Amino acid sequence: MSRWMKVPEDLCRDAYIAVFRGRFTVERAGVMDIRFSADERCQLFLDGNFVTDGPERGCPERWYFREERLELEAGEHILCARVLCFSKEFRAAAQMSLRHGFYIEGLPEDCRWDCTLEELDFELPFPDWGSYPRFHLRETYNGGIFAGKGNAWQSVEYFEDDRKLFPPDLPPMATEKLFLQPVYGNLYRFEDYVMAYYKVKLSGKGSLKLRWSECPYLNDNYNDIKLYADKGNRDGRVFVGNYDTFAVDGEVEFRSFFWRAGRYLEIEVEGDVRYEFDFYRTGYPLPPLDAKANQLEKMAYNTLRNCCWETFMDCPFYEQLMYVGDSRIEALCLYYLKGDISLVRKALRIFAAGIRPDGSLHSQYPSKNEQNIPAFSATFLLMAGDYFDRFGKDEVIAEISGKLEQVGGYLLAGCEEDSLWNPDGWGFVDWCKAWERGEPAPGKANAPLNFIRVLALKKLSEITGRGEFAAGAERSLKVLREKYFDKQRQMYADDPEHCSFSEHSQVLALLCGVPEDEQKMLITALEKGGLIPCGIYFSYYYMSMCRRYGLKELERARLAKFYKLLSENLLTLPEEFDAPRSDCHAWSSHILLSEFIRQ
């Protein structure tokens, strides 16, 4: 058990930022080592100066602490902790919470603690719905709050908390000073797509509105259900979404409480307001890209860089969620770059921590909402297999091996000798125009999902050495041949009625290792074309199959679809080839793995 502090109940809201103030005295100059944690997370300030933030993002089963060394002069000091406290509705989609509060150890025992709330109002973000809420800074905002000044401070309350606190899994996030470039009017942009914190100094009287965006649109025909709009060539002049706003009367300084993402900023001033921004890029510390990299490699690298933070993320502007499907690809890219892979190990542990009693995974974790994509439970085993292939049964695999077997049990459940896998949940496989919600055959056992299951069971058998998983894979492969192979068309159908035929089924069958005569048929079918094509995400599996079978021309042809994106004025790779929601999406970075990208 550990002793945490919280604000009194009368201060609690659906969305608020608590500031805890600790006042203490040291008799002589020196250093003081502290350990802290917060729920949801916090920023620390010593005598008004920013020190650090944390803890790194985790989940209820794996909550973190952070350690910091304070350099102190003799005399009185004030340590302030700015703690984010949002209800489920308001917190970021990838942020979880057990009970809001702040924990610290290492300060003098006579440190005196009190608390207050930061003078901000909040609204739900749009269209970046997965991020932390938009805020409105009040005209009465106390810019000296983090130096412990002003405001009505109240005594803190305490509670005992039994969560286990883990040391950080990751190195510190990278920090880089950024500079805005004027575009026209009140529109600015960064040289690159970024995730960034900022500080701002404001003076005068009036208001300032600050809106972040990936790009301007050609019109305001924005679909808030399917989350895309007419982006044209990323050269429009229409912006969609709400602002952060600052009411100003005098001089005030403000530091962002979390990063925002995008490339464009719209800064709108009313009245006599002057401003001075400092922006700082954040992200997981990736090794630098080769200086000889071409433009497409740079786009893939920038995509990865903006989707790796304290967790893997699908996209930094919208959801910011660690999905299994994206994370496997991001992990493979980190292996390719030969940098620090602590984030891979953390992701494996976090996903394993969130396994449900039936063995299925949360398709995204950490997450404030539950979602089940059965294909991603299988993909988790493939991700673990990628790691196993490189590092064997090290401490991570040994730690999660029982969890991997649980997932294997989930994949085997409900499948008899003559049946295939048709589990409950969202049957997403890939974004295809021909498939509603990315499902090959809604409500029915479909070939792509069952082929993914076969691949996963085979890999799990290699990791664990248990033959029942390999046997289950072989039984399923036999039934797939019997029920889905169309002898007339000489390829695999997606559905039991043989109405739908996609690249996905042929690609996955080839990756599963079908007999040689079938291999030739399926490769011929892919070469002829006319099948439902793989989207950007599943093009990873398509190109992996090409590399396995030496199909260089098919791989080059698929890579050409990525090169076409160079004409879209993008600096990162989007979620899809056509009409993408996101301009920066993790799963697109897999083209770093293609040898032909460098030719």
**Lowest-pLDDT range of 221-225, 312-316, 383-387:** 221-225
Residue 118 pLDDT: 96
Q: Report all structural domains of the chain as residue ranges with CATH numbers, in order of start.
A: 2-117+143-151 (2.60.120.260), 174-283 (2.60.120.260), 295-598 (1.50.10.10)
Whole-number average pLDDT of the chain: 95
Residue 230 pLDDT: 63
Question: Among 355, 415, 421, which residue's Cα sits nearest to residue 384?
Answer: 355
Instruction: Output b/e per residue, 421-432; b: 16+ Cβ within 10 A.
Output: bbbeeebbbbbb
Beta carbons of 322 and 347 less than 8 angstroms apart: yes
Q: pLDDT exceeding 70 applies to what percent of the chain?
A: 96
Per-residue pLDDT tens over the stretch 568-586: 889 999 999 987 889 999 9
Residue 596 pLDDT: 87
Residue 216 pLDDT: 80
Per-residue pLDDT tens over the stretch 406-430: 999 999 997 766 679 999 999 999 9
- Binning pLDDT at 50, 70 and 90, where does residue 199 land? very high
Task: Check whether 223 has a pLDDT greater than 70.
Answer: no
> What average pLDDT does the segment 440-459 reach?
96
SS3 273: strand
Q: What angle do CA 320, 323, 327 make, to 5 degrees?
A: 100
Question: Among 476, 442, 455, which residue's Cα sits nearest to residue 380?
Answer: 455
- Binning pLDDT at 50, 70 and 90, where does residue 494 land? very high
Question: Among 83, 90, 93, 104, which residue's Cα sits nearest to residue 40?
Answer: 83
Q: pTM here? A: 0.96
Per-residue pLDDT tens over the stretch 154-165: 999 999 999 999
What's the rounded Cα separation, in Å, for the pair 484 and 478? Answer: 10
Residue 293 pLDDT: 93
Question: Among 436, 440, 542, 425, which residue's Cα sits nearest to residue 497?
Answer: 440
- Binning pLDDT at 50, 70 and 90, where does residue 239 land? confident
